[in-house]
Amino acid sequence: MQSSGVLFEGLDRKLSPLPESTDAPVHNPSLNLAMRFQVSGDFEINITATLTTANSTYFLFHGVIPMVQDEWYYALSTFKAQIVNGDWCYWTMYHPDNTESGNAAARVGTNVIYTFKREGAELVFLTNGVEVTRQPDLGLFDDGVVYLSLDEANVGATFLVTQITTTGTVEETPVRSVPKTAGTLRDKAGTFRMGTAVATYPMVFDEQYRAILGNEFNQITPENCMKFQFIQPARGVYDFYESDKLIDYAERNGMEVHGHTVAWNEATPQWLWKGWNDGTITATEVGEILDEHIETLFGRYKGRMVSFDLINEPFMGWTDQLRDSVWFQALGRGYIERALRKAHEVDPDVLLFINEWGCEETGDKQDFLFNLVVELQTAGVPIHGVGLQMHEDVNAEYQASWPPNTPSVTKAHLKSAIARFKSLGIEVRVSELDINQHQIYADTPQAVADWYAQYLEACIEEGAHSFTMWGFTDRWSSLNEWYDYYHHGNGLIYDAQYQPKLSYQALANKLPSTHPTKNGYLL
């Protein structure tokens, strides 16, 4: 923020595709103005800006909140204009049934007013009063609201927004405390940690999401905004806009923060992969980048996080081999020790976790994680806990020969896993629970609710550190299909309309209003 306006610096945020994919990185512009515009009928939004070295500036006008997951970004009902070299505009309209794009000359000087408006049945974009394009309105803003994303593709280039005006109503959306009521999961849990992963955009812009989040849970995990490619989108360039809001929300609502994650193959930024593969970043530099990233992130939030998934999914599939990540290629197995020691050095009060899937049942992969922890402990490395992800399926194709509504992990499996890892003197948490219903029979919702309850019972009975679901509403779920904004998942405890399911009530029934404890944990 400057006294004369808001300075936007180019980050060129991108989401890296899966390592084995040949897909290009996905543009991931931040929804970086905590305001929305209430509009009806004809409307006009004017953005007055001063361009410095900017020459590839994005303006995105969204009719619905964008959805972001690990490898994809979905901006439905959006008009996007990109001004290149001050004299050309590339525009795209995204709509569920149609995508239109084109380009045209634009008149842009050092000082410019960008105008976006709806006139009758058309959408119009202008620069300094000169029309750039006029397109049929596809109903992008029929919900009566506009959200803004502003970005610059050239890293380090800037533009200064000095004024935004509108014929509609501007509503600021500051992070705030939400009312707390009796009888919620949070209220019944007492000191036991009931957690959820959090999507930042609905936390800021969706009142229903924000109200349920703060009222029902006492611990939150950032779903995406603390991943490496979000925090450091370009080398040495850090973006804390979203993670600052998450930390602020947690503190205003008396919630603990469990951070997530630094060293994960799938969230490695493209610039790091590219530099390593083409030799412009050496192995020594990879180690320095890891150290600096941890120092910056943990230093910024020192004393404000309780725990952190520092290492995420280190193993390759079901083997004992470590994933072929940049970290492993450059630093070998030692990257895990290095990251843990550095994080503990910066903030010794944060509990450091390794988070992994497929370790809830007795078997080779559980052994691999157990042995890794023993190896680290033997070397005196600070490792404080493991996360058991618990992404469960019922009635999937691979489960066709199983009894209906049966997931892979039972309560007995989970109790055994928690007890085994706790025997090493470390904490254990269920870290990413959801139950994906591939086929839904008449008794599936109740069966899923029973599984949720059994998993919570296992955590309570074995003294788990926390019980965290990977989101709480199907409206904002990692189980959404990437190609369909409205194809919601079904694996969480609230439906897409924010109504509690049987699974919610099953959890509530396991959390009595009184809070007897043993060794600090709910009984």
CA torsion angle 336 339 342 343 (round to 10): -110
Q: How far apart are CA 353 and CA 309, in angstroms?
A: 5
Dihedral sign of CA atoms 219, 222, 226, 228 in order: positive
Give φ, ψ of 16 to 5 degrees: -70, 140
Cβ pair 440, 404 in contact under 8 A: no
Give start and end residues of each alpha helix (H) in 190-325.
200-205, 207-216, 228-231, 241-252, 270-278, 283-300
- Active-site residue, selected from the candidate residues 223, 337, 360, 432: 432
| Angstrom distances, CA of residue 51 to CA of 56, 114, 128, 131, 196 | 10, 12, 13, 19, 41
The residue count for the chain:
523
* Residue 334: strand, helix, or coil: helix
Looking from the CA of 297 toward its CB, the CA atoms found within 13 Å total 32
- Beta strands 219-222 and 256-263, pairing class: parallel
Cβ pair 287, 328 in contact under 8 A: no
* Residue 261, preceding peptide bond in cis (omega within 30° of 0): yes
Q: How far apart are CA 255 and CA 214, in angstroms?
A: 8
Residues 6+ apart with CB under 8 A from 71: 15, 16, 17, 18, 21, 26, 266, 482
| 432 in active site | yes
| 119 in active site | no
Name 388's bridge partners.
Answer: 356, 430
Q: How far apart are CA 331 and CA 25, in angstroms?
A: 25
Q: How far apart are CA 169 and CA 520, in angstroms?
A: 49
- Active-site residue, selected from the candidate residues 216, 242, 256, 313: 313
Query: Long-range CB contacts (< 8 A, 24+ apart) of 90-93?
Result: 91/125, 91/132, 91/133, 91/135, 93/123, 93/135, 93/138, 93/140
Catalytic residues: 313, 432
